[in-house]
Structure 1
Amino acid sequence: MFPLVQRCCFHTPAQLRKLTIPRLPPYGKNKTTCSSLGLHHLQRGVHLISRASSLNLASVYATKLRAFHTSVPSFKKKTPKESETKLQQSMGLLKDSPKPAVYISLAGLIPFVAIPLAMVTQGTYCPQLAFAQLTYGAVTASFLGGMRWGFALPENSPAKPDWLNLANSTVPPLFAWQALLFKDITHGALMLIMALGIALHYDLSLLPTYPRWFKVLRVVGTLVMVLSLLATMAFKTASEQQPCD
């Protein structure tokens, strides 16, 4: 009975007997094989550790970039007191500016303001007066552009006679000339407003070498010119919409 149980339970099949398990060489007999196996396992461990550290660094950088791109920018709003103080400072600069510059600039704004007032007073839209205002505005824009040449050409001037100063000063006259080619006064006035805006942008931000009082004077003058042109355009549109008797 016992031999039968031993044969059934402890008998290994022939296929399993054929399988051979590789044996490690005995210690001390083949040192090169042991050292190569140890070096292989060590390199594999170092590779896994470096790979894990690189993955951790990549995840950290990804979270930082995500936080950078998804963070909502915080804009600091100006309080009314700060705006009032800046306005007072600007008016103070305008008062401290040279008197001839202030008086001549204000006198140069009279044709812009007088033409819309004349048409409103008469109650009729006059195309000749509107074209005269447009022509005077084109001359003013050309003067503002050419004034940069006179400021950059002297030897002791803070502005250099380079491409930035001289080439950009020709842009407002080109826009002003294009404004005179339109048959419709409205299109010409819009083109002239663009010319005045470009000239103001050059004087304030792109070419910031003018005195501060002159910048304030330029802002005030440009606002008056633009508002007068818009008033003429509005009066023209209102007169066209009125029914004819």
Structure 2
Amino acid sequence: MFLLIQRCCFHTPFNLQKLTGPKLLLYGKSKTTWSCLGLRLQRDVCSVSRPPNLNPASVYATKLQAFHTSLPSFKKKTPKESETKQPGVLQRSIQLLKDSPKPARYLSLAGLIPFVSVPLSMAIQGTYYPELAFAQITYGAVTVSFLGGMRWGFALPENSPAKPDWLNLANSTVPAVVAWQALLFQDTTLGAVMLVIALGIALHYDTALLPPYPRWFKVMRVTGTVVMVLSLLATAVLKAASEMELINKRNKWENTK
């Protein structure tokens, strides 16, 4: 009966009951037996009252894990494809010009020679030639008329995305009319200004109003228009410089009298 009460109340293991049972019966009044029993009961109570998460094995594993935990390593992130450096506008334009058909590229470059050669020759010789300036205006008027008529050739085919309506066909005649007006001016400076306006109108039609044009053609049109406009303005500046020089010479000659 005593063994049953001891097992139920103190949760004493079976081995402890087996060892201490006879000792309690034989040496009930022995101090050694009671001290041994108290020590065993104290160990069992401590083991029962200790939370399961604080057992020695878990504490040791936690310490071992904390000991071997290292700081997070900061690795260099590889740049994504979208974050890579994109080529600039100038590089893309040059690449599109290289990818354009050779006949279109070479003929366009050859067509810019009369524009560039006029102000370049006058700047090298240091003299303004009105005949060369008028020849440049005439060639510019022919070029602008060609650029305007290109819309007719684009809109007339049956499978073309541009319809041969009043808007497309009438707009193609506007640059030609402005170029004809430039030839009527006796002053080459006014003629150059009118051609610059006509070139701007034609460029707006080709780049904004007709999106189906290939990208290389649009880049070629922008490049050619910039070169033609700069050449015409350079001729106008050379004319203004020559006129200022003539005025200064006349003033000096009048002062010497």
TM-score (norm 1): 0.65
Q: Give the aligned partner of residue 212 of structure 2.
A: 209
Q: 4+ residue stretches of structure 1 with deviation over 4 A?
A: none
Aligned mate of 2:197, from 194, 217, 232 = 194
Matched, 1:122 2:125: yes
Q: Secondary structure at the match of 2:186?
A: coil
Q: Distance in 1 between matches of 2:232 and 2:139?
A: 11
Shift of 1:241: 0.5
Aligned mate of 2:114, from 111, 116, 119 = 111
Amino acid at match of 2:186: K
Q: Distance in 2 between matches of 1:106 and 1:206?
A: 24
Of stretches 130-139 and 199-208 in structure 1, the one that deviates more from structure 2 is: 199-208
Aligned mate of 1:137, from 118, 136, 140 = 140
Q: Give the aligned partner of residue 182 of structure 2.
A: 179
Amino acid at match of 1:209: P
Shift of 1:207: 2.4
Cα RMSD of the aligned pairs, angstroms, is 1.3
Mark the runs of 5 or more structure 2 residues left unpaired by the alignment. Answer: 1-84
Contact 1:165-1:207 at 8 Å conserved across structures: no
TM-score (norm 2): 0.62
Shift of 1:158: 2.0
Amino acid at match of 1:229: L
CA offsets per residue over residues 126-161 of structure 1, 9 Å max, x none?
A: 000000000000000000000110111111222221
Identity over aligned residues, as a percent? 74
Q: Distance in 1 between matches of 2:166 and 2:95?
A: 34
Shift of 1:92: 1.3
CA offsets per residue over residues 39-65 of structure 1, 9 Å max, x none?
A: xxxxxxxxxxxxxxxxxxxxxxxxxxx
Matched, 1:150 2:153: yes
Amino acid at match of 1:185: T
Matched, 1:98 2:138: no
